[in-house]
Amino acid sequence: MNVLFDHFSAFRDGFIGTLEITVISTVIACVLGIVIAGFRVSPVPPLRFFGTAWVTILRNTPLTLLFLVATFVVPEIFFPGMSPFLLASLALGFYTSSFICEAIRSGIGTVPVGQAEAARSLGLSFSQTLRMVVLPQATRTVIAPLSSIIIALTKNSAIAGAFSVTELFGWQKAMSDLGYGIVPIFIWVAIGYLIITFAISGIFRLVESRMEVAR
């Protein structure tokens, strides 16, 4: 109990840090994931190849290695002196984008071809077909995997703590360095993460029930 009340402000900062990095890397991952999914389903071979390579490489590399890349390689290519928070969000966002891309691609894949053919024969343009026929159906299939991907992202954000970003794992480490018992620390950190992951799955359940239709 003591460990929380003695260091509550640090815990609060860690909790907010975890939230922040989750939100920012979710945004990065969603934007990149949608773009790469667009590449992967496009009729342009080089873009398809690029998308495939992106997904294969990022999905089969440990996230910890990507954090090393973000810490030591990215500042060499872009601007030196980027903040660890930004670099960590990039690593996390890039890693997760490959999973989001695959979820979206399989979501698009579940829409029957006949739907698009019917839309085209009605004279709908490409963007109309996408907006009014394909995406509404694909979105519903994508929501469930998306929720588990974002929960996984939340959990993966713990690794950022080992790369000097203020978040909950960093708090756990600092507290155990101060000599507090690991079990109470673990319980508080666990509660912190459970709040976030339950909130995410709750939000997604709400969205899912709103979008539910009889098929």
User: Which residue, 130 or 207, is less far from another protein as judged by CB?
Assistant: 130
Cα-Cα-Cα-Cα torsion 108, 113, 114, 115, nearest 10 degrees, comes to: 20
User: Which residue, 16 or 210, is less far from another protein as judged by CB?
Assistant: 16
- Residue 82 as a binder of another protein (CB under 8 A): the answer is no
Q: Which residues contact 51 (CB under 8 A, 6 or more apart)?
A: 36, 37, 39, 40, 101
| Phi and psi at residue 37, to the nearest 5° | -60, -40
Nearest-angstrom CA–CA distance, 103 and 147: 11
Residues 169-198, one symbol each (x = binds another protein by CB under 8 A, - = not), give x--xx--x----xxx-xx--xx--xx--xx
**Least Cβ distance, residue 111 to another protein (angstroms):** 5
User: Which residue, 90 or 108, is less far from another protein as judged by CB?
Assistant: 108
Helix, strand or coil for residue 125?
coil
| Phi and psi at residue 78, to the nearest 5° | -95, -145
Nearest-angstrom CA–CA distance, 35 and 51: 9
Tell me which residues touch another protein (CB under 8 A): 41-47, 50, 52, 55-57, 59-65, 68-69, 72-73, 76-78, 102, 108-109, 111-113, 115-116, 120, 126, 129-130, 134, 151, 154-159, 161-162, 168-169, 172-173, 176, 181-183, 185-186, 189-190, 193-194, 197-198
